């Protein structure tokens, strides 16, 4: 997709300090980031650098201490919780590092949850179910549809989380260490899936502490010392360490 016009994601002077009693943990300190529609961006950084924190801010799942996030013209912090949830449900798919599956629901119902939430089920329950089943098949879990999360492996749970993030055809996919629990062959099928998602016009932000994985993206940004550092576009030689 042509990278012209204004950015889809615009992050301005973002700061995040976690405060627990008297303990203050500064994590992000003046982050600026612009991502164009259709871009495939990798964010790398060491464990504890703040990658998940940033994903949570981009998905409207947590509030920044300071700064602004504008996505598709919407200033996320100006939305109330209900508006945020609706916005996220229709625009954003999040693959959580910790999966966040609902234990009491079958795998297919976990995948259908965002569709249910945004009202698409009401528009076409069978269509949504077929789509969920097809996503389960794409991630190699067609035979496990009716199992509960506790009845499958960690890597299989991760693949359910991937399928769930895609059920509503999000404009933006936030993928937080999406292959952290997968073997290399299964990871490769997931990265092929992401390539197809990008080809379909979705903006993908992939987070990983592994540079080699992020090299599948078109642009790598490194999070270090609470700041984002843009790395050379299109020249991912892998020389620098995370």
Ligand X SMILES: Nc1ncnc2c1ncn2[C@@H]1O[C@H](COP(=O)(O)OP(=O)(O)OP(=O)(O)O)[C@@H](O)[C@H]1O
From 47-55, 86-94, 185-193, 214-222, span contacting ligand X (CB under 6 A): 47-55
Q: Provide the CB-side half-sphere exposure for 61 (13 A, CA).
A: 15
49 binds, among Mg ion, ligand X, none (CB under 5 to 8 A by kind): ligand X
Whole-number minimum distance, CB 102 to ligand X, in Å? 21
Using rule CB under 6 A, residue 128 touches ligand X: no
**Residue 18 interface partner, choices ligand X, Mg ion, none, CB cut-off 5-8 Å depending on type:** ligand X
Q: Please, which residue, 38 or 180, has the CB nearer to ligand X? A: 180
Distance CA 206, CA 45 (A): 12
Q: Which is nearer to ligand X, 219 or 222 (CB)?
A: 222
The minimum distance between CB 214 and ligand X, in angstroms, equals: 12
Q: Least distance to ligand X from the beta carbon of 88, Å?
A: 18
Least distance to Mg ion, CB of residue 180, Å: 9
| Minimum gap (Å) between residue 190 Cβ and ligand X | 18
51 binds ligand X (CB under 6 A): yes
Give the residue with the Cβ less far from ligand X, 4 or 20. Answer: 20
Q: Which is nearer to Mg ion, 86 or 227 (CB)?
A: 227
178 lines the binding site for ligand X (CB under 6 A): no
Binding status of residue 158 toward ligand X by CB under 6 A = no
Q: CA–CA separation, 242 vs 230, rounded Å? A: 13
- What's the min distance (Å) between Cβ of 116 and Mg ion? 27
CB 158 within 8 A of CB 110: no
Contact residue for ligand X among 4, 5, 20, 73 (CB under 6 A): 20
**Sheet with 203-208, edge to edge strand ranges:** 92-95, 172-176, 203-208, 40-44, 219-224, 227-230
Query: Which residues contact ligand X by CB under 6 A?
Result: 18, 20, 25, 27, 45, 47-53, 97, 209
């Amino acid at each position: 997709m042509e990278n012209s016009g204004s950015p889809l994601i615009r992050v301005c002077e973002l700061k995040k300090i976690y405060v627990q009693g008297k303990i203050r943990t500064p994590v992000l300190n003046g982050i600026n980031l612009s991502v164009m529609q259709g871009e495939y961006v990798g964010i790398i950084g060491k464990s504890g650098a703040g990658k998940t924190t940033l994903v949570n801010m981009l998905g409207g799942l947590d509030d920044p201490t300071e700064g602004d996030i504008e996505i598709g013209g919407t200033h996320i912090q100006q939305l109330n919780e209900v508006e945020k949830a609706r916005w996220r449900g229709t625009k954003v798919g999040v693959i959580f590092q910790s999966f966040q599956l609902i234990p009491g629901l079958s795998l297919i119902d976990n995948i259908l949850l965002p569709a249910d939430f945004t009202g698409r089920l009401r528009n076409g329950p069978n269509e949504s179910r077929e789509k969920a089943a097809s996503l389960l098949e794409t991630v190699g879990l067609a035979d496990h549809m009716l199992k509960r999360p506790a009845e499958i492996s960690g890597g299989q749970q991760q693949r359910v989380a991937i399928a769930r993030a895609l059920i509503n055809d999000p404009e933006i996919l936030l993928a937080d260490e999406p292959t952290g629990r997968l073997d290399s062959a299964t990871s490769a099928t997931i990265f092929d899936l992401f390539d197809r998602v990008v080809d379909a016009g979705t903006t993908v932000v992939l987070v990983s502490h592994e540079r080699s994985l992020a090299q599948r993206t078109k642009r790598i940004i490194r999070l270090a010392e609470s700041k984002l550092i843009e790395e050379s576009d299109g020249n991912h030689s892998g020389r620098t360490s995370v």
